Amino acid sequence: MNLEIKKLWRETGINSLIAIVLFGALLGVLYLVEMLIPSVSGQLLSFHDAAFCVGIPASIIGVAYILSIKNPANYTGFYAGIVMSALLGIQFFLNGLYDLTFLYFVVFIPFQIMSIRSWTKSSNSDSAEPFNPEFLNIKTMLLSLLAFVVITLVDYVFATFVMHQDTLCDNILGKFVSGALIASSVLANYWLIYKKNDSWIYWIIYSFAGITLNIIYLNIFSIVLFAFFLVINGMAGVAWIKMTPKENYGWLKGK
């Protein structure tokens, strides 16, 4: 293992420690809130729930993953992303959301592996041109938006006619927001493979959709969690944009 790779792994390790501290602080605050406000007791922390317990390490590793790939050269962060996706797949399985289990194991983990291969190849390239972040061009951006709409609508149809027995699927707004959540996560993971800044736009949409969905279903812990990820994703997106050469601004150039 050369020095550069060791440096990347060290960075991911440090980010993992930061994630543990940040998430530990978040859990500590929520625990204090439950102690001070009895009316919300059990609504923030549900350690008796196996799915909730699996979600805790998934969230910690997810923060480490985002903090690591905030550096567009750090492909080692995707190894954390694979572990995060596997844990989230298990969490959704425990919750009986088998469609999301399928999505994480069959779609997102392969996307993470593809990202490792793509980013590793760019890091090892002898090309004088670095593999910098960039925005999609106008045509691809519009096609991506179309894909977002199509995936959202397909998920709405699936929730209506396949999962109609699920009480969570009785809410029309909830079904649309859930579809947007899935569509944004699919596109965010896909565009990360190619280091497109648009992936962070979709991650921010994902965070807002997660907040909205959990407001609809009154899941206070998940509202706080998605708000936390909104900040983390926003910070990573800003960091990438600052590293993007002006010639890579794609659709933002208006040409």
Question: Over 70: is that where the pLDDT of 166 sits?
Answer: no
Round to whole Å and give the CA distance between 117 and 120.
5
Q: What is the pLDDT of residue 40?
A: 76
What are the tens digits of pLDDT across the range 85-124? 999 999 989 988 787 888 899 999 999 999 999 998 876 6
Say if CB 190 and CB 151 are below 8 A apart: no
* Least confident span in 140-154, 159-173, 180-194, 208-222: 159-173
Round to whole Å and give the CA distance between 136 and 113.
22
Tokens representing 234 are 């926003």
Q: What is the pLDDT of residue 254?
A: 61
What are the tens digits of pLDDT across the range 47-71? 888 999 999 999 999 999 999 999 9
Q: What is the pLDDT of residue 98?
A: 82
Question: Over 80: is that where the pLDDT of 21 sits?
Answer: yes
All residues at 6 or more sequence positions from 163 whose CB lies less than 8 Å from its CB, including other chains:
99, 169
The beta-carbon contacts of 202-210 under 8 Å, at least 24 apart in sequence, are 202/148, 203/233, 203/236, 203/237, 204/230, 204/233, 204/234, 204/237, 205/180, 206/181, 206/233, 207/233, 209/177, 209/178, 209/180, 209/181, 209/184, 210/181
Which pLDDT band holds residue 128 (cuts at 50, 70, 90)?
A: very low
Domain boundaries, the chain: 1-125, 133-255
Which pLDDT band holds residue 12 (cuts at 50, 70, 90)?
A: very high
Mean pLDDT of 183-208: 96
Round to whole Å and give the CA distance between 132 and 146.
25
Mean pLDDT of 3-9: 89
Which pLDDT band holds residue 165 (cuts at 50, 70, 90)?
A: low
All residues at 6 or more sequence positions from 121 whose CB lies less than 8 Å from its CB, including other chains:
none
